[in-house]
């Protein structure tokens, strides 16, 4: 009997028996109920703490600080009235104690009578910390107590901020008073500085003018020395200039005479170049005619050579056609003569061709010479014109050189007179410079004293005014006070934060539900036997395995539907969430099937032990690092560890590569378990009993 047939018959029997079908549906719905109730109950516990009753007892009597009344206890109570973290009940001490004793309150917050008084001792020699008494009711609920501790830490921070703000406002008031006094002192110092400044300015002006006088006379003295030295150099140079200009005038006169001779030579050269040009043009015409005659002669010699060659070849053909002519001595002579004529005419043609080539080169040379002669003639004309213009300018330069020589002589006389006058002026300026330096030194000492007075008073005024400005620039508004009271702001980024606690715990509860569903199935259905009589071990293996897999599919699909569409669980990918649930349920099913098939009830016990290990070691609730060391070592080998990690990737991070790794691990467990189950049935002998064994619910 084929193995698949056994499964189909088992499935038919299961459907036709209502109790078995209902039992199967109940087992399939168990993970849905298990995961749904657990996730729903844990969906957002920290968002509902406003329902937890907390007793608040305010015994604070208030205090006076810097002339102002401080009632920190009342301010704290007002803060709590606007706070919705808990259900605050403001009662007396007796009511709070009775409520704690009878579990009406999860915790009590007591503000002592000296709370405000202790808060005002910050600036004293021995400050006393203000104290708030917090009492959690851990006997009533430990988790609620831990939540209360966290909430009270936040409230303590807010209260500390309020107390710091009060201190800061008082400090700013004292700073304002100091700033006003510093401003008045700075004003007086500023007036002193202004008087000293005016004195310094007057002395500075005097010192500046005297310095200008001393500097001017010194510069005048230096300038006169330079001028005297320059006058001597001028006198000497003007003498040299006079001699040079005289020589220049004489040279220019001689150059003008030589230029006339050069101009006459240029005219003669231009005339010769013109005659050369005419001769070369005539020679060019003759060479052209020679080239034409040689061209015609070369053509005629070519025709003569061709005709003589044809005559010689015709005589040879005639002699060959007429045997009697071969013996004729005259014909032999005629043939020899024709051959000589043919050879001579060919040589004549070759000579004519060489003469033609030479005449062609001669004609090109004549053309180039004619062009050169033309350029030479044009250049000679330009040279003659340029020499004529140069002669005119040279005459003008000769006349100018004569005038320059006359002016240089006059300049030499004036430079001598300037040198003599500067000698007398230099003596008077030396005395003036010495007196101006002494007067400037005295004014400098007077100015230094006045400057020190102005500098000292100015520095005093500056320091006082800076201190007043610094103290007055201190901002005492609410924003500044709040900054002193709470200098650090904690900003929470929610990029890796889940919106609800249920999203974080759902992977753990769903993995647990699917494992429990697989385990419960083995308690109501047999994993070894079949309802089909005579079913082979392989048939029973296929039937039991497919039935178990069918139930695991129903369990995972129903649980996912409730979580996604009933509780509105948000995931990164709905299709991958269904796929991963199918793989997780299949893996847990194969593991439980292998244990129970081989060991029966002891196998169920091992499955329960495995589930307990996974509850504590799979890091579904607390971080892995917080578990004992031996649990951390066991963690990577547990199937539920990989299911939880994969679910977290789909629900929170969207890390599908990580999810793929977990699928590989889970399918490895599933395949190994399936092989173990197959080995069990492979070693079983075929049953011979015909009576079916009914499945019991």
Tens digit of pLDDT for each residue in 455-473? 776 776 677 677 667 656 6
More confident residue, 597 or 69: 597
Return the pLDDT at 460.
64
Is pLDDT above 60 for 104? yes
To the nearest 10°, the Cα dihedral for 375, 378, 381, 382? -90
Instruction: Please count the other Cβ atoms lying within 10 Å of the Cβ belonging to residue 188.
Output: 13
Axis crossing angle, helix 3-16 with helix 537-561, rounded to the nearest 10 = 50
Contacts of 432 (CB under 8 A, 6+ apart): 217, 220
Mean pLDDT throughout 683-687? 63
Query: How distant is the alpha carbon of residue 588 from its chain centre?
Result: 49
Is pLDDT above 60 for 44? no
Return the pLDDT at 446.
61
Q: How far apart are CA 464 and CA 363, in angstroms?
A: 111
Tell me the per-residue pLDDT of 578-632, one tens digit each, with 9 for 90 and over.
999 999 999 999 999 999 999 888 988 998 898 888 888 887 777 777 778 988 8
Return the pLDDT at 661.
94
The DSSP annotation for 469-486 comes to HHHHTS--SHHHHHHHH-
Residue with tokens 């957002």: 44
Return the pLDDT at 587.
95
Tell me the per-residue pLDDT of 161-206, one tens digit each, with 9 for 90 and over.
656 665 555 555 555 655 666 567 667 667 767 776 776 776 677 6
Axis crossing angle, helix 18-41 with helix 537-561, rounded to the nearest 10 = 40
Q: How far apart are CA 185 and CA 196, in angstroms?
A: 17
Residue with tokens 């030194």: 441
Q: How far apart are CA 353 and CA 358, in angstroms?
A: 9
Q: How far apart are CA 388 and CA 375, in angstroms?
A: 20
Return the pLDDT at 83.
78
Mean pLDDT throughout 71-88? 81
More confident residue, 555 or 243: 555
More confident residue, 21 or 89: 89
Instruction: Please count the other Cβ atoms lying within 10 Å of the Cβ belonging to residue 363.
Output: 17
- Taken as a whole, the chain contains a residue count of 697
For all residues of the chain together, what is the average pLDDT?
A: 76
Instruction: Provide the total of helices (H) and of strands (E) in the chain, helices listed first.
Output: 15, 6
Q: How far apart are CA 271 and CA 274, in angstroms?
A: 5
Return the pLDDT at 591.
94
Return the pLDDT at 138.
60
**Is residue 349 very low, low, confident or very high in pLDDT (cuts 50, 70, 90)?**
confident
Query: How distant is the alpha carbon of residue 685 from its chain centre?
Result: 73
Contacts of 45 (CB under 8 A, 6+ apart): 501
Return the pLDDT at 38.
63
Going by C-alpha positions, the residue among 373, 374, 359 that lies closest to residue 288 is: 359
Return the pLDDT at 694.
46
Mean pLDDT throughout 72-101? 84
pTM of the model: 0.47
Rounded to 5 degrees, φ, ψ at 127 are: -65, 150
Return the pLDDT at 428.
66
Rounded to 5 degrees, φ, ψ at 38 are: -65, -45
Going by C-alpha positions, the residue among 5, 16, 103 that lies closest to residue 54 is: 103
Q: How far apart are CA 597 and CA 521, in angstroms?
A: 12
Q: How far apart are CA 107 and CA 138, in angstroms?
A: 8
3-state secondary structure of 385: helix
HEC string of 198-235 equals HHHHHHHHHHHHHHHHHHHHHHHHHHHHHHHHHHHHHH
Is pLDDT above 80 for 109? yes
CB contact at 8 A, 548 and 73:
no
CB contact at 8 A, 40 and 501:
no
The single-letter DSSP state of residue 136 is: E
**Is residue 233 very low, low, confident or very high in pLDDT (cuts 50, 70, 90)?**
confident
CB contact at 8 A, 59 and 113:
yes
**Is residue 575 very low, low, confident or very high in pLDDT (cuts 50, 70, 90)?**
very high
Going by C-alpha positions, the residue among 519, 518, 512 that lies closest to residue 608 is: 519
Q: How far apart are CA 609 and CA 617, in angstroms?
A: 12
More confident residue, 498 or 372: 372
More confident residue, 142 or 346: 346
Mean pLDDT throughout 27-50? 63
Q: Considering the chain, what percentage of its residues have pLDDT values greater than 70?
A: 70
The single-letter DSSP state of residue 687 is: P
**Is residue 123 very low, low, confident or very high in pLDDT (cuts 50, 70, 90)?**
low
Mean pLDDT throughout 494-498? 45
CB contact at 8 A, 582 and 553:
yes
CB contact at 8 A, 27 and 14:
no
More confident residue, 93 or 149: 93
Return the pLDDT at 433.
67
To the nearest 10°, the Cα dihedral for 667, 669, 672, 673? -110
Is pLDDT above 50 for 690? no
Return the pLDDT at 486.
57
Q: How far apart are CA 492 and CA 489, in angstroms?
A: 10
CB contact at 8 A, 73 and 60:
yes
**Is residue 692 very low, low, confident or very high in pLDDT (cuts 50, 70, 90)?**
very low
Tell me the per-residue pLDDT of 370-414, one tens digit each, with 9 for 90 and over.
787 788 778 777 877 877 777 777 777 777 767 877 877 877 787
Sign of the CA dihedral with 339 first, then 340, 343, and 345 last: negative
Q: 456: exposed, middle or buried (C-beta count within 10 Å: 0-12, 13-18, 19+)?
A: middle
Contacts of 674 (CB under 8 A, 6+ apart): 545, 590, 593, 594
Tokens of 541: 């293996």
Instruction: Please count the other Cβ atoms lying within 10 Å of the Cβ belonging to residue 61.
Output: 12
CB contact at 8 A, 231 and 419:
yes
Q: How many CA atoms lie within 13 A of 345 on its CB side?
A: 20
More confident residue, 686 or 65: 65
Q: Of 376-380, 416-420, 437-441, 674-678, which range is least confident?
A: 437-441
Residue with tokens 């009406």: 104
Return the pLDDT at 663.
94
Pairing verdict, β 87-90 and 107-111: unpaired
Q: Of 434-448, 527-541, 680-694, which range is least confident?
A: 680-694
Residue 187 CA: distances (Å) to CA of 456, 462, 469: 15, 10, 12
Q: How far apart are CA 29 and CA 555, in angstroms?
A: 6
Tell me the per-residue pLDDT of 519-545, one tens digit each, with 9 for 90 and over.
888 887 777 777 677 677 787 888 888
Q: How far apart are CA 638 and CA 665, in angstroms?
A: 10
Instruction: Please count the other Cβ atoms lying within 10 Å of the Cβ belonging to residue 326.
Output: 11
Is pLDDT above 80 for 668? yes
């Amino acid at each position: 009997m084929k193995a698949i047939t056994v499964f189909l018959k088992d499935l038919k029997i299961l459907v036709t028996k209502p109790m078995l079908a209902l039992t199967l549906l109940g087992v399939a719905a168990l993970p849905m109920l298990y995961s749904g109730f657990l996730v729903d109950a844990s969906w957002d516990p920290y968002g509902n703490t406003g329902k937890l009753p907390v007793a608040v007892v305010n015994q604070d009597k208030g205090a006076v600080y810097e002339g102002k009344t401080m009632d920190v206890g009342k301010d704290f109570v007002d803060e709590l009235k606007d706070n919705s973290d808990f259900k605050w009940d403001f009662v007396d001490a007796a009511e709070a104690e009775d409520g704690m004793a009878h579990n009406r309150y999860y915790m009590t917050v007591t503000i002592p009578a000296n709370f405000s008084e202790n808060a005002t001792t910050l600036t004293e020699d021995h400050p006393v910390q203000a104290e708030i008494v917090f009492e959690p009711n851990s006997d009533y609920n430990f988790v609620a107590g831990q939540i209360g501790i966290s909430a009270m830490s936040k409230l303590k921070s807010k209260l500390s901020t309020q107390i710091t703000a009060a201190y800061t406002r008082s400090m700013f008031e004292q700073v304002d008073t100091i700033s006003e006094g510093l401003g008045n002192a700075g004003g007086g110092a500023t007036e002193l500085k202004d008087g000293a400044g005016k004195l310094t300015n007057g002395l500075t002006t005097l010192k500046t003018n005297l310095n200008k006088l001393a500097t001017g006379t010194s510069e005048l003295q230096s300038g006169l020395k330079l001028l005297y030295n320059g006058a001597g150099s001028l006198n000497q140079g003007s003498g040299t200039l006079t001699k040079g200009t005289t020589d220049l005038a004489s040279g220019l006169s001689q150059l003008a005479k030589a230029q006339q001779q050069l101009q006459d030579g240029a005219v003669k050269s231009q005339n010769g170049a013109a005659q050369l040009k005419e001769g070369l043009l005539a020679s060019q015409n003759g060479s052209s005619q020679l080239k034409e005659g040689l061209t015609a002669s070369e053509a005629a010699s070519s025709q003569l050579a061709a005709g003589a060659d044809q005559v010689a070849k015709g005589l040879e053909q005639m002699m060959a056609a007429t045997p009697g002519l071969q013996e004729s001595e005259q014909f032999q002579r005629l043939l020899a003569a024709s051959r000589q004529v043919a050879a001579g005419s060919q040589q004549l043609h070759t000579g004519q061709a060489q003469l033609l080539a030479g005449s062609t080169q001669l004609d090109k040379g004549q053309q180039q010479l004619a062009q050169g002669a033309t350029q030479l003639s044009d250049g000679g004309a330009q040279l003659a014109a340029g020499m004529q213009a140069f002669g005119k300018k040279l005459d003008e330069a000769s006349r100018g050189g004569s005038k320059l020589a006359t002016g240089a002589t006059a300049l030499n006389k004036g430079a001598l007179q300037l040198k003599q006058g500067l000698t007398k002026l230099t003596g008077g300026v030396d005395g003036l410079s010495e007196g101006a330096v002494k007067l400037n030194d005295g004014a400098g000492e007077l100015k230094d004293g006045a400057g020190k007075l102005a500098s000292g008073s100015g520095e005093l005024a500056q320091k006082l005014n800076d201190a007043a400005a610094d103290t007055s620039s201190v901002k005492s508004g609410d924003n500044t006070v709040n900054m002193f009271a709470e200098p650090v702001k904690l900003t929470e980024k929610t990029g890796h934060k889940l919106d609800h606690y249920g999203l974080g715990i759902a992977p753990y509860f769903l993995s647990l539900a699917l494992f429990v569903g697989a385990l419960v199935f083995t308690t109501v259905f047999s994993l070894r036997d079949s309802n089909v009589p005579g079913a082979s071990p392989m048939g029973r293996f296929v039937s039991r395995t497919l039935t178990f897999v069918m139930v695991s599919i129903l369990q995972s699909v129903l649980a996912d539907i409730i979580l996604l569409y009933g509780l509105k669980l948000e995931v990164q990918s709905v299709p991958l969430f269904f796929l991963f649930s199918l793989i997780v349920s299949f893996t847990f099913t194969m593991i439980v099937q292998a244990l129970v098939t081989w060991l029966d009830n002891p196998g169920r016990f091992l499955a329960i032990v495995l589930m307990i290990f996974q509850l504590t070691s799979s890091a579904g609730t607390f971080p892995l690092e917080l578990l004992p060391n031996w649990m951390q070592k066991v963690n990577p080998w547990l199937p539920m560890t990989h299911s939880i990690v994969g679910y977290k990737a789909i629900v929170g991070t969207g890390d599908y590569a990580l999810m793929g790794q977990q699928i590989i691990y889970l399918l490895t467990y599933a395949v190994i378990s399936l092989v173990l189950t197959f080995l069990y049935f492979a070693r079983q002998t075929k049953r011979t009993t015909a009576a079916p064994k009914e499945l019991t619910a």
